[in-house]
Chains A and B, each alone.
Chain A
């Protein structure tokens, strides 16, 4: 009765092997590496950069073990791995020299870094080491809150400006447009005009909702943004901010930064290895600004670098240039409410821009007299200008217009991104910050590890002394539980924190409960006079219902913490829940498997080693007492 079919043993074997495979990456050491990230918004990292890095290293006699392209989008970087710190140091100098033409204004940032030595075949199976939380490796943590109210206000301002322009274009006569709180109120003399206005506005913008009101003889149309549309604006703002932050953080040269959305309107930024809050805050909070300027038409195109520059103009060279432009910007990036890559009437790649507030009026005033002439878009980062676009003004421009003549769709997408990334779309505040020193991080790892190891040893010793061979089986099951838990955490790429380690330790401490229940139950069955084989079977079967019951209540707690917890508590909750699930599997299925393997084959089993089974004098005088003598 205590035999498993073959497939059950195979299942156990397979899960243990998988457990070992996915836990393994955590044991590999680190090797020195260099990380190359972009130093400017206009410089992108791609496979060309990778080849450039590899070539440059080969040329100078410090070949890397491996050069790879990692991450995607804004956080792409090239990683080169080396065998020694010495090679890493030399390579850093080489790369800094070769990649950057101007050392004072680096295109690429080269940072010293560590890479796990996980073998390639393991990486292919997605067996990767766990991420360590900031409390374990040191670094800075910020929580940024997007000011949703301000986002809504900006949006309504934009709508006000757009409504004014659209009504004028369509010759709808109104007697005033005002912004009242989060709505735009338009006054009319008669109902027919109001209906007409409503139609015009609704056609132009699907996100608006309308309500009628009257104030004396004045008829009013109240325009508000649909709540779901406003929500979308906030979401877009958060996403855009995340991409902007990603670009800026690249400049800090941080390895594996975390920039994530949390909840509806918050952004978590974690920068491992960074200790300098002030500097990090400075970079994160900085704005790269966009400027729209007129190109000086007194200088003939093609002669910019040689001609004399007029007094109120300046020359910009570099990518996008050369261009001689006016020193005065007639419009800045603050007025851009959206920028998307699209195609113009001739199916040429272009960027569509929406301006908000007074942007449309300013643009109109500036471009009306200058149709046919050129206008430049400049990006100002750290006081340095880059010409993003230098295009001919085809017609008078308003609050929505297109920049064309960009060549490829990729370039259009890139420009759209830059235009958007110029400023943080949604204003943000720092609402939480944490800094953990690297020394403290290392201490925390040691603390977490020591408490788990010594706790495990204490439990193992006690279980073996008290329950003998069955205690040993329980310890095997507990070790499997630990293995499964670590494997799942590694596979999920969960971030391990100190509370997470505490949860692992606690999960082990609680998981042993299942084995205690089983062992006690087997002893009790023996005490009642059952044969050892029957006692084992009954012990496992009857304990199962109790184990299930008690784990369900613990799981309820884990889920509650997962739903309502944040930060460290969430990490704790995830491990807690997973620990319960793995413990049910290992304590019942695996330990039964081990017991069956050991005792199942023996048909006439006289005694089992489960420690002393004490029987009260009278009741134990029967079969029970003799059958269960201790096996020494």
Chain B
């Protein structure tokens, strides 16, 4: 099987201007949504509490919200989660307390609202592990509400996580730029980083526009995408360098077109394979991995686009010349150069 039967180089760079305009527009739109709608940060960043409850019958969201407001939480978010019986609560940090919010108070209140009583249950799981948990049972002994998950983060920890996330991003950008500047040339470093940061901003734009939850795991996915699409640019740049060396008669534009054309098959197949894995996570991974997989999917799609159309085009606008790359290449000839 062979998907790519390309007879001559596709003139990608002829349309560079159009692609760059499209990129610029998407970029501006993403920034616009980021500014106006902001990201929907998870409690890991903002501080606060998330609770997942499972009710024995369809949950009355209005009643839950009302109980929480009576406890003194301003604007608690109560949303169904998966099924009508599963509910997710998001509670902001209460002013004046640095510590975590009392999830047990909330549980007791909600249990009382269902006219049940909380009690401690000792039980042994099917596997034989000993478990003590708080259960909310009705007078008849049936379990009314069960606590599935609690996540609670103090405001200070949240701030630190946000700072660390930003630091990680900065370190990645600097690290990648230095590496590319050494391995290739500064124009390529700039082009690659601009192209791939544009991916990152677009992913964030999607998260802002749809108000998807931005958690630590999503941040990890975003950074992983950054590394992954830089890969992509590296492969194309490698090929550009090789073509400069081999084909002395071609113009800069022709060289770039040739490089992209000859790597396009590998680009699509690799990304297709990674995307298969990501789709598998999207379908089977459940709620926790959902946005992780979504971020990766957007990242992979835009990663192909940006490496092919944006990075190379920016390198072209920056004025890469044969001379930029020829010198270091002479020394590298023996080591086999870099090829796809």
A28: Cβ under 8 A from any B Cβ: no
| B209 CB, min distance to chain A CBs, angstroms | 24
Q: Do residues A509 and B276 form an inter-chain contact, with CB atoms below 8 A? A: yes
Q: Which of B7, B219, B276 contacts A458 (CB 8 A)?
A: B276
Give the segment of B15-23, B63-71, B163-171, B320-328 that binds chain A.
B163-171
B150: Cβ under 8 A from any A Cβ: yes
A residues less than 8 Å from B98 (CB atoms): 429, 431
Q: Which of A437, A541, A613 contacts B336 (CB 8 A)?
A: A541
Q: Do residues A505 and B131 form an inter-chain contact, with CB atoms below 8 A? A: no
Q: Do residues A451 and B284 form an inter-chain contact, with CB atoms below 8 A? A: yes
- Closest B residue to A139 by CB, please name it: B131
Q: Do residues B227 and A558 form an inter-chain contact, with CB atoms below 8 A? A: yes
B175: Cβ under 8 A from any A Cβ: yes
| A268 CB, min distance to chain B CBs, angstroms | 12
Q: Determine the distance from Cα of A438 to Cα of B296 in the docked complex, in whole angstroms.
A: 28
Question: How many residues on B have C-beta within 8 angstroms of the other chain's C-beta atoms?
Answer: 91
A residues less than 8 Å from B57 (CB atoms): none
Give the segment of B109-117, B122-130, B247-255, B308-316 that binds chain A.
B122-130
Q: Determine the distance from Cα of A456 to Cα of B281 in the docked complex, in whole angstroms.
A: 11
B142: Cβ under 8 A from any A Cβ: no
Q: Do residues B289 and A513 form an inter-chain contact, with CB atoms below 8 A? A: no
B residues less than 8 Å from A573 (CB atoms): 220
A308: Cβ under 8 A from any B Cβ: no
Q: Which of B104, B223, B228, B270 contacts A277 (CB 8 A)?
A: B104
B156: Cβ under 8 A from any A Cβ: yes
- Closest A residue to B131 by CB, please name it: A273
Q: Do residues B339 and A545 form an inter-chain contact, with CB atoms below 8 A? A: yes
- B243-272 CB mask vs A (1 if < 8 Å, else 0) is 000000000000000000010011001101
- A441-464 CB mask vs B (1 if < 8 Å, else 0) is 001100110111011101100110
Q: Do residues B128 and A569 form an inter-chain contact, with CB atoms below 8 A? A: no
A residues less than 8 Å from B134 (CB atoms): 275-278
Q: Determine the distance from Cα of A431 to Cα of B154 in the docked complex, in whole angstroms.
A: 5
Q: Determine the distance from Cα of A430 to Cα of B104 in the docked complex, in whole angstroms.
A: 14
A408: Cβ under 8 A from any B Cβ: no
B residues less than 8 Å from A560 (CB atoms): 168-169, 171-172, 175, 223
Q: Do residues A451 and B281 form an inter-chain contact, with CB atoms below 8 A? A: yes
Q: Which of B129, B148, B228, B234 contacts A112 (CB 8 A)?
A: B129
A162: Cβ under 8 A from any B Cβ: no
A residues less than 8 Å from B154 (CB atoms): 145, 429-432
| A92 CB, min distance to chain B CBs, angstroms | 10
Give the segment of A53-61, A117-125, A516-524, A591-599 that binds chain B.
A516-524
Q: Do residues B231 and A550 form an inter-chain contact, with CB atoms below 8 A? A: yes
B286: Cβ under 8 A from any A Cβ: yes
| A448 CB, min distance to chain B CBs, angstroms | 7
Q: Do residues A546 and B339 form an inter-chain contact, with CB atoms below 8 A? A: yes
B residues less than 8 Å from A550 (CB atoms): 231-232, 234-235
A536: Cβ under 8 A from any B Cβ: no
Task: Take A434-B150, A513-B274, A612-B2 as given contacts and tell me if A506 and B296 are in contact as well, using a CB distance cutoff of 8 Å.
Answer: yes
Q: Do residues A564 and B171 form an inter-chain contact, with CB atoms below 8 A? A: yes
- Closest A residue to B164 by CB, please name it: A564
Q: Which of B148, B285, B338, B340 contacts A447 (CB 8 A)?
A: B285
Q: Which of B133, B219, B339 contacts A275 (CB 8 A)?
A: B133
Q: Do residues A454 and B289 form an inter-chain contact, with CB atoms below 8 A? A: no
A567: Cβ under 8 A from any B Cβ: yes
Q: Which residues of A262-298 have CB atoms within 8 Å of chain B's CB atoms?
A: 272-279
Task: Take A275-B133, A502-B217 as given contacts and tell me if A433 and B152 are in contact as well, using a CB distance cutoff of 8 Å.
Answer: yes
Q: Which of B127, B230, B275 contacts A553 (CB 8 A)?
A: B230
Q: Which residues of B82-102 have CB atoms within 8 Å of chain A's CB atoms?
A: 98-100
Q: Which residues of B113-161 have CB atoms within 8 Å of chain A's CB atoms?
A: 120, 124-125, 127-134, 146-154, 156-157, 160-161
Q: Do residues A439 and B284 form an inter-chain contact, with CB atoms below 8 A? A: no
B185: Cβ under 8 A from any A Cβ: no
Q: Determine the distance from Cα of A121 to Cα of B65 in the docked complex, in whole angstroms.
A: 57
B302: Cβ under 8 A from any A Cβ: no
Q: Determine the distance from Cα of A567 to Cα of B220 in the docked complex, in whole angstroms.
A: 11
In order of increasing CB-CB distance, the 7 nearest A-B pairs are A275-B133, A509-B277, A557-B227, A455-B280, A455-B277, A550-B231, A435-B150
29 interchain pairs, CB-CB under 8 A: A111-B130, A112-B128, A273-B131, A277-B134, A429-B98, A432-B100, A432-B152, A433-B151, A435-B103, A435-B147, A440-B149, A444-B286, A458-B277, A502-B281, A506-B296, A509-B276, A510-B228, A516-B266, A517-B235, A517-B266, A521-B339, A523-B2, A542-B338, A544-B336, A546-B238, A561-B220, A564-B164, A564-B168, A613-B2
Other than the given A455-B279, A566-B164, 9 more pairs (CB < 8 A) read: A275-B134, A429-B99, A431-B156, A451-B277, A513-B231, A516-B273, A546-B338, A561-B168, A614-B5
